[in-house]
Structure 1
Amino acid sequence: MKKTAITIAFVATSAFAAHVFAADVFEFPASMGKVTFPHKMHQEMLKDCKKCHENGPGKIKDFGKDWAHKTCKGCHTELKKGPVGCTDCHKK
């Protein structure tokens, strides 16, 4: 019983810590100019990490230009909210 309580506490603490310590803003270098991604804003707005983090918290599998253009731009288009033009994301 004690091991189960400790395991539950550890899992809950780990999930909370991942949420609390996630970076507020990420900057990605890109050939057309850096892309600034407001991570905390997306967390608060979407409330569903799996929209981007298919395999749970952490780095995004296959993240790169193609993934971002398909996933980010696709979500912004679908929600009719957020940048979709090149210079809206890529700042020199």
Structure 2
Amino acid sequence: MKQLIAAVALTIFAAGAAMAADTLTFPAKNGNVSFGHKKHQQVAGSCKACHEKAPGKIEGFGKDWAHKTCKGCHEQKKAGPTKCGECHKK
């Protein structure tokens, strides 16, 4: 029974990753932000790096969340954009 549950969970996880959009675009006043979701999946290695509960919509996602979490991760890893104009494109 445990093997069946594990197999179902793995199948759901793999399906979610396979169906994820390549690039997401978020509208913003100072220029839209394009987010390479698939690229981030490969770099992060775990959905939980951004999705605390489970893959899907991030609870509380918005400007403040992105500025803290995304920018914070980029600063910590010394990779990726950290300045406004590097994410926000008009």
Give the counterpart of 1:32 among 6, 10, 30. 30
Unaligned runs of 5+ in 1: none
Q: 1:74 to 1:5 in 2, by over 3 A?
A: closer
Residue 40 of structure 1: how far off its partner (Å): 0.3
**RMSD over equivalenced CA pairs, Å:** 1.3
Q: 1:87 to 1:21 in 2, by over 3 A?
A: same
Q: One-letter code of the match for 1:77?
A: E
Give the counterpart of 1:50 among 42, 48, 51. 48
Give the structure 2 partner of residue 15 of structure 1. Answer: 13
Measure, in 2, the Cα distance between the counterparts of 1:82 and 1:5.
39
Unaligned runs of 5+ in 2: none
Identity over aligned residues, as a percent?
53
Measure, in 2, the Cα distance between the counterparts of 1:62 and 1:34.
19
Measure, in 1, the Cα distance between the counterparts of 2:57 and 2:65.
13
Residue 6 of structure 1: how far off its partner (Å): 4.6
Residues 1:89 and 2:69 aligned together: no
Instruction: Please identify, of 77-86 and 5-14, the stretch whose mean Cα deviation from structure 2 is larger.
Output: 5-14
Residue 5 of structure 1: how far off its partner (Å): 5.4
Residues 1:69 and 2:67 aligned together: yes
Cα-to-partner distance string for 1:29-53 (whole Å, 9 max, x where unaligned)? 0010100000000000110211110
Structure whose CA Rg is larger:
1
- Match of 2:80, SS? coil
